[in-house]
Amino acid sequence: AMTLTVPPRASLSSVADSTFAKIDQDIAWVMGTFQQVLTEQGEKAIADHLPWTGKAGKSNGTVELGERGIQMLSIAFQLLNMVEENAANQSRRARESHDGLLAEAGMWGRHLAELRQSGVSGEALVGILPHIRVEPVLTAHPTESKRSSVLEQHRMLYLLLVKRENRMWTPAEQEDIRDELAAGLERLWRTGEIRLSKPDIASERRGAIHYLKEIFPDVLGRLDNRLRQAWSAAGYNPELIRDPAHLPRLRFGTWVGGDRDGHPLVTAQVTNESLRELRKAGIQVVRSALRKLAVSLSLSDRIQRPPASLTTAIQRLLHLLGDAGTKAVSRNPFEPWRQYVNLLIARLPEDGSTEVHPPLYRRPSELVDDLRQLRLSLAEVGAVRLADHEVAPVERTVASFGFHLATLDIRQNSAVHEKALAQLLTTAGIDAAEWPTWSEKDKLALLDAELRSPRPLAHPESVHGAEAKLVLDCFRTIAQHRTGCGIDGLGALIVSMTRSLSDLLTVYVLAREAGLVHRVDGPGDVGPGLACDLPVVPLFETIDDLDRSPGILDAFLAHPVTRRSLNLHNSARPVQQVMLGYSDSCKDGGIFASAWNLQRAQGRLAEAGRKHGVELRFFHGRGGTVSRGAGPTHRFLEALPHGSLGGDLRLTEQGETIAQKYANPVTATHNLELLVAGTTATTVRHQGPAPDYADTHGILDRLAEASKSAYENLLTLDGFITYFSEATPIDVLEQASIGSRPSRRTGRRTLADLRAIPWVFSWNQSRHYLPGWYGIGSGLATIKRDDPAAFALLRERVRTWPFLRYALTNIESNIASVSPDLMAGYAALVSDQAVRENIFGKIRAEFELAKTLLEEVFGGASIATRRPLLVRTLQLRESGLHAIHHQQIALLTKWRQLKNDGDVDGANLLLPDLLLSVNAIASGLRTTG
């Protein structure tokens, strides 16, 4: 009989109390130091308004703080964010020390304990773990409002907070730490907060590579240690996961330099530079790991005789490498294990090399095999601990980062592909000027005919239109990289706004022109024909597209080119990637309609995959806010529809969330553990019987439709665009230098053309948070009025159904972040009184309705009772936020008046202050778009 029990978590109130006691203590220390620095800089007047020092809480925003005052508040919020991050990490460590590894929800220990308690054996788990594949994808979506130099200084200040945790410091040493903090704060104060020019793609790429090269390799080892410790704590046999091949796979991806959807600056040259820089950094990571390994394996052959397997391997490498091999082994005589590692280093490609010839490694899997040989040779002489602690982590590093660091996806809009193909067909003498208006049947007939032949449509030197040149130049760059370096660093060809099968088959035809599609021997029932070297991935974004997505995927998976391509990529276990867009579906139909349609689509897409014997790798395009798919990682995974997760998961990490989640190793380890452990546990549970919530599906259909109707009715009201334009700082955000990509897809000034990021960003800045909750009140009211029994069932299901709880909890979080009085302050900026009163009246009424009915759905208890940490966190920030918001409202009024008066110079002089207020509010809210 199994006696394992999962320790209970401490009560919510005690967790909140201990966390906030820690925050209060640290914020007093940090803000006291900052106040001293400001005073020394001659800024006593604004120092007196510094929040959380006992004085500034009285400020209600009526005091004119000016540019330096806004900067002070912005830095103060950044410091608070660091204090909260450190307090969360220290609280988790304290709970783990007190309650053990099994107590913390979402982590390896808790998941493994629950799996073991439910009867899952270690042997069964080891059969699953190697099939877990998790891939965070770093994107440069423009929601990171901080300069890279400022982010680096934040990292340094955070390390001082961590350093101070060590109780061994003497009072004098503690004072030294405070002096370091003061110096860092003075540097931050003198640096300046805002970007004066938009970042270029090269700087965005450097930012992504920083995390991939400097943070994640170290975190990978921590993650594996956490798994092994939790595995033993849960009572599983540690020998089962000794081999690195038995551990989950963690990979990384990026869009920086590959995402060209509405981004004219991402050219073929930029993509080539990104591939080269990623490869250069990837090889550097591997070279560094091998050099450290060589230093640690100084075992002498005079003390232990090397096994024959090692001697044979050394001779094999010496024969392969010739003079380079002789030089490598001459450095460490009598130390055969070190000599072997030197030979591995000698086989590495040059940093950033774009063409590799034998005997150098072409693929990282070859190096992994050689490292495994090294590990086994150490075990043969009894040095098992060295094999586990020194060699296995390097194996994992190479398996995760390879020679490419991260795979680079190529994303382009289906409309661009459509224009490119029309131009290409015209060049080939086919009348396709009206191609976009052709019926789907006629398009498929032509595409199928083309995909039966390997010949290109046009000569490589042919002159095409702009879109054809753009796409083909990109694909040819990818083909050149594949020829020189292999496909390991190449991700997927992602088709944004996928609306039909022809959108996907078009990519095969275009890829054929660049040599990415060629003839292969297909699986038996399909036979030989064309296949694509890289996966073609649909991205379903709008609610209508999500509704059509299962049919599109079904037809795509049935197509012979797709079947051959999947077989080419992995004949043993065909995997089709499908990307889901959260932002546009929310902007399209509101938050709950988005969440429910995504949920239903995933279930139906998974069924389409099973029909064709194909596993789906869902790629979740989640942003940094609830309106764009964000939410607690472990709750997000728990909420996935049953059977949709087979262990293979990708998801985007965008904008400011990258720094928030990964800037510091302890926080990065925690967030990646939530992701990998949660994916593993959810995958195991999805293999069991499905819970039955079918009796609630029809209710949620009605709730989604009613909430969507309310949301759409607001957006189509007369004057809504006027309200949005004047009651939010959207006009400022469109001038902010927070990303290399334009805020509009085509430059047209319409709501449809506006990207979801500035849409959400502007509503958050004005404290409406409208995309994250609007419509749910009307939806719930409709259910309650028309079907009280259904409303009662919702109240029951929100306690037992993870999806419903996750969706409504996220919406409630956004509602808790709304400030009705600040909403009114921004609404007062709308010059047309009738528009203002009508639109704001509806927003305020919907807010009150949503707040009341959500509380009723959650059982009648207030959010302060149920979620004390959230409420107290928001309350802590509110006094400082009010001051900045009032400053921003005053600045907006003055700036817009100057523009209306034609005073361009005056408006331009005021713009930096406005941009600084945007940064300050984003820091205070811990979110942009």
- Residues catalogued as catalytic: 141, 587
The angle that helices 904-925 and 756-765 make with each other, rounded to 10 degrees, is: 80
Hey, how many other C-beta atoms are within 10 angstroms of the C-beta on 185? 23
Cβ 284 vs Cβ 402: under 8 Å:
no
3-class state of residue 719 by DSSP: coil
Write down how long the chain is.
929
Decide if 740 contacts 142 (C-beta within 8 A).
yes
- Backbone phi, psi, residue 377, to 5°: -70, -35
- Cα dist from 18 to 10, 85, 204, 822, whole Å: 11, 14, 38, 31
CA 272 from centroid of its chain's CA atoms = 23
Phi and psi angles of residue 401, each rounded to the nearest 5 degrees, phi first? -105, -20
41 and 186 Cβ atoms separated by less than 8 Å = yes
How much helix, strand and coil, in percent to the nearest 5, is found in the chain? 65, 5, 30
- Nearest 5°: phi and psi at 51? -65, 160
Cα distance between residue 422 and residue 414, in whole Å: 12
Q: Return the CA Rg of the chain.
A: 29
Alpha-carbon distance 667 to 677, whole Å? 15
Q: Which of 624, 371, 357 is nearest to 486 (CA)?
A: 357
* β partners of residue 540: 580
Cα angle 207-208-210, degrees, rounded to a multiple of 5: 65
Contact 73, 35 (CB under 8 A): no
Q: Which residue blocks in 322-430 are alpha helix, DSSP H?
A: 323-330, 336-346, 364-380, 384-386, 392-401, 414-427
Q: Cα separation of 929 and 922, whole Å?
A: 9
Q: Count other C-beta atoms under 10 Å from residue 819's C-beta.
A: 18
Whether the CA torsion 384, 386, 389, 392 is positive or negative: it is negative
Instruction: Kindly report the number of other CB atoms within 10 A of residue 165's CB atom.
Output: 12
The string of DSSP letters for 81-104 reads: HHHHHHHHHHHHHHHHHHH-TT-S
Contact status, residue 44 vs residue 34, Cβ threshold 8 Å: no
- Distances from the Cα of 913 to the Cα of 115, 766, 889, angstroms: 54, 16, 12
- Measuring CA to CA, which residue among 898, 891, 894, 767 is closest to residue 840? 767
Burial (CB count <10 Å: 0-12, 13-18, 19+), residue 846: buried
Using CA atoms, how far residue 218 sits from 398, 403, 591, in Å, is 12, 17, 37
